[in-house]
Amino acid sequence: MDQPRTPMVFKSPVIDQVGVVERAKRFTSRSIKSEAKMRGLEMVLSMIDLTTLEGMDTEGKVKQLCYKAQHLHDSIEGLPNVAAVCVYPNYVGLAKRSLAGSGIKVASVATAFPSGNSSLEIKLADVSMAVSEGADEIDMVISRGRFHRGDYNFVFDEIAAVKAACGEARLKTILETGELGTLDKVRLASDIAISAGADFIKTSTGKIQPAATMPVTLVMLEAIRDHFQKTGLMVGMKPAGGISKSKLALHYLIMVKETLGDDWLDPKWFRFGASSLANDVLMQIAKQQTGAYQAANYFAID
């Protein structure tokens, strides 16, 4: 009979909140012009996960989103595809068929998204359903109630179990930072998720405010940096929610570059969970090319 393992003790660095806020603010003062701005905008576009995660989702809406993902830039030649389309597990098969041959990944939320309040058995069934339908990526939510109780070993074990159930699919672990309360807790949750095997750490479900912020994202990037310096292993980052403008997205890229380096400036390691961002990026690219803004309704909204 297996002996119960000794509980792990999780200890993370104390976060200087004032210092983090000040450092994050500096990234917004940088200016990107001309060709560098165009390259940055194209990079942002390639990192977007288009998402539909509503109770009123239908097959038609999912098909429409998949169509948008593949034809988003028909009016502008030479642009990259978005990174992924994210849907509920019951729509993964439909999205997979709709995106066949495009190179766009299919991501699926799982583990009783967005609350995370369910049994591990049901959460793993949720993951298995999405993976069996062809999901390339799984976006799970941590059990914030157990985290706030200080039951960090439970949170670790649950993430590790979900990671095992993912098989070849990559795991993005959503911390729901708007519910964690402090930057110290954001850092601790990041360290737990990374140590449990998450391929990405992600700020938010998009259902809670505040969602992604630059100080929160900086703390998570620093957790990734420290892990890489200790192990040589890369972990991805996904800020989600509240990033709707290109200028802000470019500031995030500057923060990633200066905190983690150029290797993370790739959709394999950095994503934006911000569907509305795509249209603003396209408007800015059109402005760079033509000198004039297109009307917002020139691009597909849904």
3-class SS of residue 174:
strand
Catalytic residue among 49, 126, 136, 139: 139
Q: What values do phi and psi take at 166, rounded to 5?
A: -70, -25
Q: Where are the alpha helices (DSSP H) in the chain?
A: 17-27, 34-46, 59-71, 92-98, 120-132, 144-148, 152-166, 183-195, 214-231, 246-259, 277-290
- Catalytic residue list contains 33: no
Catalytic residue among 37, 172, 202, 280: 202
- Catalytic residue list contains 238: yes
For the beta carbon of residue 247, count every other beta carbon within 10 angstroms.
12
* Residue found under tokens 């930057």: 183
Nearest in space to 240 (alpha carbons), one of 180, 300, 171, 173: 173
Please list the residues that pair with 273 across neighbouring strands.
Answer: 240
**Please, are residues 49 and 107 in contact by the beta-carbon 8 Å criterion?**
yes
- Catalytic residue list contains 57: no
Catalytic residue among 49, 191, 238, 280: 238
Residues marked active site are found at 139, 202, 238
